[in-house]
Each structure stands twice: as C-alpha cells, then as structure tokens.
Amino acid sequence: MESLALPLVLRDGQFDRASLRESITYCVGLLLSTRLGMMKFRPDYGCDIWDMEYSDLYAANRADILASLRNTIDKHENRLYGVSISFVNVDDAAPHALGLAVSVSGNYKEDDEEKEFQAKYVLG
C-alpha cells in the first residue's frame, strides 16, 4: 500500500509516495512535534508536552510523559498498535533539541501480515 510522503512535495505533477512503514514514521513524527490546538480543524491533535515549561520536563514524572505520548499515538495513529515508548539518548548532532528523544515501537499490518515498527524521534 502506498501513501503520500511527508513533507508533500510536488514533482513532475505527482506527489512523492511512501511505503506504509514510512507513512507511519512520518505521521508519528508529525504528531509528536505538533502542539495541541495548532490544527484548527482538529484541536485535539498534537502532543501536550509542548505546553510544559522546559524546566517542567525534567521535574515531571517520566512515566507520565511516556504515558501521554503513548496515549497521543494510540488516539491518532490507528495503523499502529501495541505501542511502547521509551526514552533514549539524544545524539550530540541535535543541540537544539529539548533534550528528549524517544523510541516508539509497535506493530502494524500490511497485506494481512503483522510487521514490527520501531523509530526514534528527537523532540525539539
């Protein structure tokens, strides 16, 4: 199954295509990088960590942050199930980041075959 690739780029009158796995990767990344309320037509879309102060991210219960991220993905990315999220180290190549990186894993079905999904996202 082909999906549109993000960001949407028109080349020779066609949008770039992506595999199902790539589409899920793009969509989860967009979801985790969007502040709640930024999409006026869908105000519940996005991630609530962007409403926290920088210092609050370090004082907050890490389990609460992970649960919030998992609930957001469960709510908005229905192609992915059995979602698990964990904190991972941020690469030194991303000094602009909030200092948070997460690994998202789960499963999805493609052509009636269950496949594993895993991707890393730097938040910031």
CB 35 within 8 A of CB 51: yes
pLDDT at 51: 74
* Both tokens assigned to 105: 């894993």
Q: What pTM value is reported for the model? A: 0.81
- Domains of the chain: residue spans and CATH: 3-123 (3.10.450.40)
Residue 15: CB atoms within 10 Å? 13
Q: What is the pLDDT of residue 61?
A: 76
Compute the residue count for the chain.
124
Residue ranges for the chain with pLDDT beneath 70: 1-2, 53-60, 91-99, 124
Please, is 25 exposed, middle or buried when counting C-beta atoms within 10 Å of its C-beta (0-12, 13-18, 19+)?
A: buried
